[in-house]
Amino acid sequence: MPPVRKAVGLLVLATLARGGGDPEAFAKGLAGIRDLLADGKCARAQKVLDDLLQEHAKAPYAVGRRVEIEEMAKQIVFGTTVEPPDPKKLVSGNLEQYDARTGTLRIRYTPSTMKDWTLVKHLWVHPATFNGSHSITIKGEENASSGMILVCLNNQEGMIAHLCRGAEERASISRIYPEGMAMLASAPSTFAEGASYTAKVSVNRTSVQLLSGGRALVRAPKKADEWGMLAVSAFKFEEILIAGKAEPSWIQGLVDAERQRLLAEFGKRWDPKGHLPPWLYGAPAAAPALALARPDAREWPVLLDAEAGAIVDRVVALSGKGEAAAALRLLAESRTEAIPAASLHYLRGLLLEQLGHHEEAIAACRAVREAEPDFAPVVPIEASALFALGRAEEAIVLYRALLGRFPGSPELHAQAALFLGAAGKWDEAEMMLRGAARAGVTSDELDVVGRQVHKALHGPAWQRRHDYQTSHYLVLSDMDPKVCFEASQILEQAYAVFVSRLERAPSTTERFRVFLFSGQAGYQDHVKDLFGSTAPHTAGLYAPPLRQLFIWNLPEREDMMRTVRHEGFHQYLHRIMDDPPLWFNEGLAEYFEEARVVRGVWTTGDPRHDHLALLVAPQPLKDFLFLDRGAFMRRAFVNYAQAWAFIHFLLHSTRENRQLFDRFWDSFKRIPSNADAIRDALGDRPIDSVDGEFRVHVEALRRLR
């Protein structure tokens, strides 16, 4: 156990010895249990939790932390009753050797155990990515045709060994490119037609070698950092043996996926009431929930006639379909005298907010509150509009006032907690939910929100947790300490580039939190738990409400670290401006993602030909710069490419365009509306003129191959 965690564990035991009745001691006890769980000591955590709950039985502050206690108990019971996944049972071949720390492996396959491999046309491709010396050996009784073994496959490039048969043929090693192939070395073939064979390709730091029956046949040089995947042509074989040093991500991903499957199965039968004391589920006598006021359950103030009701129904139906503009026109064209003023203002506020007319929506909502002070459904609409204008504190005041009038409403507590979270006030959301639980205000919805808040504050429930802390970052992972250290160094280096090239972020004692997941399954499950849906086709994401990074273990470690740099930029920029347009945020992230050190100096601005290849016909800037989030993401690949290209144009074309970038930067910091900020930055400069210069710049970049 690390020294800090050991000290906390001793503190927990000392606290238990002193007895209960102390909220601070109870909180420290739970913190100590979290540390035990992070070290994988589930059985010990169970004993400490049992003692802690016994010492603080029926204490209101303990009841208030029921959701947190349930999450701990679930992790404990899962860890003590469910056997952890065994990599040997997850790999289709015979896993003879595997070191999870270094990635070194040895797997033997037969024709009936090739499930790990993927058949792509005539090639079997193995999922492991090798990052050190390795080999592949193929044995067979007879084979009339020639065969191929491909190694160092990476981005459609690699090395290929030809196993040609017959006295007149030559075995060879060639380099393959997207546009063709070039032979590097060849030798007379020793593979006789119809005879048994043993072919081996061995890869080390400087060369690729083809061996026949244990004897070196042909060798070709390779680059020192050239590694990658391997594949074989689909010729007859009896056995394939692969061995060497690979990225651990493939097997880590298999283990993670299996653990998530087991956890989902466990969750279906998990009942915390069967493992925790009954007093956690009783309403405290001091503040029975039924005595607390709740808002009126009416959806609308009373309508005066059937015609008005029909209008409201049609407006609500159009709104539900996303046709807010049509619904607003219907209200304007209909006879609405029979609709109470509060209902009419509510409908208009709802539709105006859907259309993004935030100031008008706020005015309509305030008219509702003046007419019907206790009409709770209007507050989330007004809060959403205030949040969009950067006035979250005003919205929080509204929620506090509403909860003051209706402290017995689970629905309002859930809404307020989620809003506090969206505003980045997760600690306050947790404290509010604990207060509700202490008062006996509970519901299934409130429990779901409580678990979201708990995960937001404490991260995923990993069986083991590693971490590394630097000046600006706290990196946590379920993989190993090394990956935490590597990611933290990349993040600190990138942060230094950001602040030197752009602007120093406001100082704070809070460190950026970064979570590195061992597999995609755990990453997606955590994202779904927090936000209600997965994030498909993403290698990582930055969650602005949490100010946290989530990144999963990509097959190539360098790809994962590139994602770390990209998402790390979003985390940095959020400290400076709230919600700049996606072209600005993603364009800069793509730009700095490729920053590299050349002779000790960080360089940026190299052409990205992957993006340039997608920019066949860039969108006119008069449209592109004003795309909303939905429109931008519908053509994400092309729009990311144009965003990078436009940032490159601003930073690397002319002094005037660099000044335009500085004005964009300043405007997005000052002006809540992105459209207004863009117009403010452009000033008197015609956007069509900027567009013409941008297209010339893109064509110039294409010629820099």
pLDDT digits (tens, 9 = 90+) for 561-597: 888 889 999 999 998 998 899 999 999 999 998 877 6
HEC assignment per residue over 260-328: HHHHHHHHHHCCHHHCCCHHHHCCCCCCCHHHCCCCCCCCCCCCCCHHHHHHHHHHHHHHHCCCHHHHH
Contact 259, 84 (CB under 8 A): yes
Edge-first strand order for the sheet with 548-552 is: 466-469, 473-477, 512-517, 548-552, 540-543
Determine the pLDDT at residue 294.
Answer: 54
Tell me how crowded residue 263 is: count the other CB atoms within 10 A of its CB. 19
- pLDDT range class, residue 192, cuts 50, 70, 90: low
Of 663, 653, 660, 539, nearest to 589 by C-alpha is 539
Q: How long is the chain?
A: 705
Q: What is the mean pLDDT of residues 666-694?
A: 93
Tell me what pLDDT residue 300 has: 52
Q: Is the pLDDT of residue 234 over 50?
A: yes
Per-residue pLDDT at 84:
92
Task: Report the pLDDT value the prediction gives residue 310, as an integer from 0 to 100.
Answer: 81
Q: Which residues lie closer than 8 Å to 401 by C-beta, 6 or more apart?
A: none
Which residue has better confidence, 144 or 110?
Answer: 110
CB-CB contact of 619 with 646 (8 Å)? no
The string of pLDDT tens digits covering residues 438-464 is: 888 888 888 889 988 988 888 898 888
CB 295 within 8 Å of CB 406:
yes
Confidence grade of residue 642 (pLDDT, cut at 50, 70, 90):
very high
Q: Half-sphere exposure of 118 toward its Cβ, with a 13 Å CA cutoff? A: 7
CA distance 606 to 608: 6
The encoded tokens of residue 189 equal 């073939």
d(CA 322, CA 56): 51
How far is the CA of 92 from the CAs of 117, 200, 257, 342, in angstroms?
Answer: 9, 21, 15, 65
Strand partners, 157: 154
> Which residues, at least 6 apart from 394, have a Cβ–Cβ distance to it below 8 Å?
386
d(CA 675, CA 169): 68
DSSP 556: S
The first and second tokens of residue 107, run together, are 């797997």
Tokens of 634: 């519908």
Q: 33-36 long-range contacts, Cβ below 8 Å, gap at least 24?
A: 33/72, 34/72, 34/458, 35/1, 35/5, 35/8, 35/9, 36/5, 36/9
Q: What is the DSSP letter of 113?
A: G
Residue 608's region, left for phi above 0, alpha for psi from -120 to 50, else beta, is beta
Q: What is the DSSP letter of 165?
A: B
Among 61-70, 90-99, 227-236, 260-269, which stretch is predicted with the lowest mean pLDDT? 227-236
- Check pLDDT > 90 for residue 705: no
In the structure encoding, which two tokens stand for residue 460, read together? 């995923």
**CA–CA gap between residue 152 and residue 158 (Å, rounded):** 5
**127-174: pLDDT as tens digits:** 999 999 999 999 887 654 568 899 999 877 899 998 876 556 788 899
Rounded CA gap, 544 and 582, in Å?
Answer: 13
Mean pLDDT over each residue of the chain, to the nearest integer = 86
Q: Tell me what the mean pLDDT of segment 360-368 comes to.
A: 92
Give Dmax (Cα) for the chain.
98
pLDDT in tens, 527-561: 988 888 888 888 889 888 888 899 998 877 778 88
Q: In the predicted model, what is the mean pLDDT of residues 469-479? A: 92
User: Given pLDDT bands bounded at 50, 70 and 90, which one contains residue 291?
Assistant: very low
**Residue 12 clears pLDDT 50, i.e. is over it:** no
Distance (Å, whole) CA 6 – CA 566:
36
Residue 241 is predicted with a pLDDT of 96
pLDDT value of position 152: 93
The per-residue pLDDT for 14 is 39
Q: Which secondary-structure segment (H or E) carries 219? A: strand 215-221
Most confident of the ranges 43-52, 204-213, 595-604: 43-52
Mean pLDDT to the nearest integer, 26-33: 93
User: Which amino acid is it at 235?
Assistant: F
- Residue 46: pLDDT above 80? yes
pTM: 0.79
Say what the pLDDT of residue 564 is.
87
Alpha helices, H only, 20-178: 23-38, 42-55, 60-63, 66-81, 87-90
Q: Which residues does 682 contact at the CB level (< 8 Å), separation at least 6?
A: 660, 663, 690
Give the pLDDT of residue 284.
52
Alpha carbon distance 636, 364 (integer Å): 36
Confidence band for 15, pLDDT divided at 50, 70 and 90: very low
pLDDT given at position 7: 40
H-helix or E-strand spanning residue 16: helix 3-18
